[in-house]
């Protein structure tokens, strides 16, 4: 296993990452909200890429995993810029972005910034615009007023926070209401038993994207995590189809 390295941002943030060099295009995995690069989907993609001599980059956003920083200071803008800084520092040539949940929103923002370097997108329960459709009006009012809200966390005992800074920044990055100017091949995977991100969001994303090369795979018994062996196998098949 490649050891964890650190990339230092100008303000002193140290972003943890793993990188295996290889043939292009390089895979870049973007975790979900409060997730990190140690998850099963990211690890499986990294190991397959390494075994086949393909370039792959994993990273932890600031305030997550092994990276420095305060999670409360995190935002889509901040994390997008960290991803772009790592890509610039580690990768030459085209990139395929794989985004899980919130990472599926982030991959769109990174992809728009990469422009002609973007070779493909793979969304896993992609959650673009969840700061809009994912909160009740009362919660939005609290966030707009600067409060932090907390919700039950199905993956652990501590509630999941949404900080006002994150939510307010996210309002500048809403994408589903207009066309998304990305024309690369896209593969979207979504479980129809997802209780966090409705599977219809992937259909809305498919419609919003400008690309004509889009495939949406719905897993009827799949949940939000899509971390079962068969789910990961599907993810790898979809991602590797972009190499053909």
Average pLDDT of 94-116?
A: 98
Domain that holds residue 198: 5-131+182-243
- The residue that leads in pLDDT, 154 or 81, is 81
Distance CA 14, CA 34 (A): 17
pLDDT the model gives residue 152: 86
Asked if residue 172 is part of any domain, the answer here is no
Asked if residue 166 is part of any domain, the answer here is no
Q: What is the pLDDT of residues 1-15, one digit of tens each?
A: 468 999 999 888 999
Q: What is the pLDDT of residues 39-88, one digit of tens each?
A: 999 999 999 999 999 999 999 999 999 999 999 999 999 999 999 999 99
Asked if residue 77 is part of any domain, the answer here is yes
The answer to whether 18 and 58 are in contact (CB under 8 A) is: yes
Asked if residue 63 is part of any domain, the answer here is yes
Residues designated as active site: 101, 194, 224
pLDDT the model gives residue 3: 87
- Residue 147 CB neighbour total at 10 angstroms: 13
pLDDT at 191 over 70: yes
Which residues make Cβ contacts (< 8 Å) with residue 100, sequence separation at least 6? 29, 30, 31, 32, 35, 39, 41, 42, 124, 125
The total domain count for the chain is: 1
Q: Which two tokens stand for residue 67?
A: 């990276």
Asked if residue 171 is part of any domain, the answer here is no
Average pLDDT of 155-161?
A: 82
Asked if residue 176 is part of any domain, the answer here is no
Q: What is the CATH number of the domain that holds 232?
A: 3.40.50.1820
pLDDT at 155 over 80: no
pTM of the model: 0.97
Asked if residue 218 is part of any domain, the answer here is yes
Asked if residue 168 is part of any domain, the answer here is no
């Amino acid at each position: 296993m490649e050891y964890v390295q650190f990339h230092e941002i100008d303000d002193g943030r140290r972003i943890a990452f793993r990188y295996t060099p290889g043939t292009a295009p390089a895979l870049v995995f973007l975790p979900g909200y409060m997730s990190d690069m140690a998850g099963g989907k990211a690890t499986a993609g990294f190991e397959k890429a390494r075994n086949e001599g393909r370039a792959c980059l994993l990273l932890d956003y600031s305030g997550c995993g092994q990276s420095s920083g305060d999670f409360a200071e995190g935002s889509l803008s901040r994390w997008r810029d960290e991803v772009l800084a790592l890509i610039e520092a580690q990768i030459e040539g085209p990139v395929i972005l794989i985004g899980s949940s919130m990472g599926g929103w982030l991959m769109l923002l990174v992809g728009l910034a990469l422009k002609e370097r973007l070779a493909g997108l793979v969304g896993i329960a992609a959650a673009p615009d969840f700061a809009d459709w994912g909160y009740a009006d009362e919660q939005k009012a609290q966030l707009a007023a600067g409060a932090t809200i907390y919700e039950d966390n199905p993956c652990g005992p501590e509630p999941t926070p949404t900080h006002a800074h994150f939510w307010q920044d996210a309002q500048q990055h809403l994408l589903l209401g207009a066309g998304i100017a990305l024309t690369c091949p896209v593969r979207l995977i979504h479980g129809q038993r997802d209780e966090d991100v409705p599977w219809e969001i992937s259909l809305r994303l498919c419609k919003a994207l400008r690309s004509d090369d889009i495939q949406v795979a719905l897993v009827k018994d799949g949940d939000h995590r899509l971390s079962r062996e068969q789910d990961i196998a599907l993810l790898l098949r979809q991602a590797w189809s972009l190499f053909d």
